[in-house]
């Protein structure tokens, strides 16, 4: 940690410990409050707004049958988001968050809708089983677009979600190459593969992984195996660090973007708050490797930013504890003997 962070930590811990409660009585909420202070650089940040940005893109490897759903579902779900019918829309409404939808690289012709943010890099990635998913230029353009989208977002807290048939495969391969975790433990059922489908997915991903060396840099892993939505989300997380705002990291795919962002810019660690533990089996391994403690564990594995949205009320409460909760001194309450 930097000297500034150490000084801030001491001030915020003293502030939290001085609130009208026993020491440590609010458990993880206190840790979240400290993380909010680190992310913003303020001892008592007032955080009242949250926006979810959903990045959508297709993956060439989906053509190898690694998902229970066909690639066309990516486009169909983008339209569902735009019409307000997805779980992410419903959860956002329930917790008072706004939603943006971004075409980072959906297959087919560009989608024409007034509420869609068109940032498509290409009409889906190439098949990473046989060749790099994207060029270095495409990777860099996607990261840059994500950063720019964060700058355009006025919310106090940032949530990022994703949609892309085949993207659990991409995240598994990225985590395997960057973290050095065994690939087999990172491969789950994704959208609900049956046993035969899971075996097929494992075989395809093993072929893809064998195409490159055992360990890759984050930038190389992203180009070789990532998706345009993952690259754009990586850039958006880097933008959160640049703008001193907390980033609520969703589940398996979003954690893949987070580990890439951390590899590209370690300082982003102060901004990342891990929202929930996905039921996708490799997510726990990724969280452990990042020494991350998620807020929620609800057995979810949907994506879309749904877990991040459900964590937002807890994060907002942690902020309110810093800004609005009385101290022993201000309330005239006796402290511990």
Q: Which domains does the chain have, with CATH numbers?
A: 3-46+321-331 (1.10.1610.10), 50-315 (3.40.50.10210)
The pLDDT value recorded for residue 191 is 87
State the catalytic residue, choosing from 3, 30, 304, 329: 304
Closest CA to 78 of 50, 96, 60, 54: 54
The pLDDT value recorded for residue 261 is 98
| Rounded Cα gap, residues 198 and 67, in angstroms | 9
| Rounded Cα gap, residues 42 and 116, in angstroms | 34
The pLDDT value recorded for residue 4 is 57
The pLDDT value recorded for residue 335 is 84
241 given a catalytic annotation:
no
The pLDDT value recorded for residue 326 is 97
pLDDT less than 50: residues of the chain? none
The pLDDT value recorded for residue 3 is 52
The CA-CA-CA angle for residues 225, 227, 232, to 5°, reads 130
| Rounded Cα gap, residues 27 and 15, in angstroms | 15
The pLDDT value recorded for residue 273 is 98
What pTM was computed for the model?
0.96
Backbone φ, ψ for residue 325 (5° rounding): -75, 135
């Amino acid at each position: 940690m930097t000297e500034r962070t150490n000084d801030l930590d001491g001030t915020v811990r003293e502030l939290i410990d001085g609130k009208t409660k026993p020491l440590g009585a609010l458990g993880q909420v206190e840790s979240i409050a400290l993380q909010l202070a680190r992310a913003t650089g303020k001892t008592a940040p007032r955080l009242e707004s949250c926006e979810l940005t959903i990045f959508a893109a297709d993956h060439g490897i989906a053509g190898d049958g690694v998902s229970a759903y066909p690639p066309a579902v990516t486009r169909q779900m983008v339209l569902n988001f735009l019409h307000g019918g997805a779980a992410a829309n419903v959860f956002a409404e329930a917790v008072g968050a706004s939603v943006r939808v971004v075409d980072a690289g959906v297959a087919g012709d560009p989608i024409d809708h007034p509420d869609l943010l068109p940032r498509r890099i290409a009409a889906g990635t190439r098949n990473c089983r046989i060749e790099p998913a994207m060029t270095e230029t495409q990777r860099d353009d996607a990261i840059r677009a994500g950063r720019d989208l964060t700058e355009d977002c006025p919310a106090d807290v940032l949530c990022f979600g994703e949609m892309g048939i085949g993207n659990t495969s991409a995240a598994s391969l990225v985590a395997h190459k960057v973290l050095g975790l065994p690939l087999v433990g990172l491969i789950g059922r994704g959208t609900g593969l049956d046993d035969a489908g899971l075996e097929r997915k494992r075989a395809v991903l093993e072929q893809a992984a064998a195409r490159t060396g055992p360990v890759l840099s984050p930038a190389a892993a992203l180009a070789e195996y990532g998706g345009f939505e993952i690259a754009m989300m990586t850039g958006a997380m880097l933008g959160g660090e640049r703008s001193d705002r907390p980033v609520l990291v969703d589940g398996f795919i979003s954690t893949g973007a987070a580990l890439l962002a951390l590899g590209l810019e370690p300082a982003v660690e102060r901004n990342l708050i891990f929202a929930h533990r996905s039921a996708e089996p490799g997510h726990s391994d990724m969280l452990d490797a990042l020494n991350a403690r998620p807020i929620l564990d609800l057995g979810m594995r949907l994506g879309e930013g749904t877990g991040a949205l459900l964590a937002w009320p807890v994060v907002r409460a942690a902020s309110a504890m810093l800004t609005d909760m009385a101290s022993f001194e201000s309330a005239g309450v006796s402290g511990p003997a």
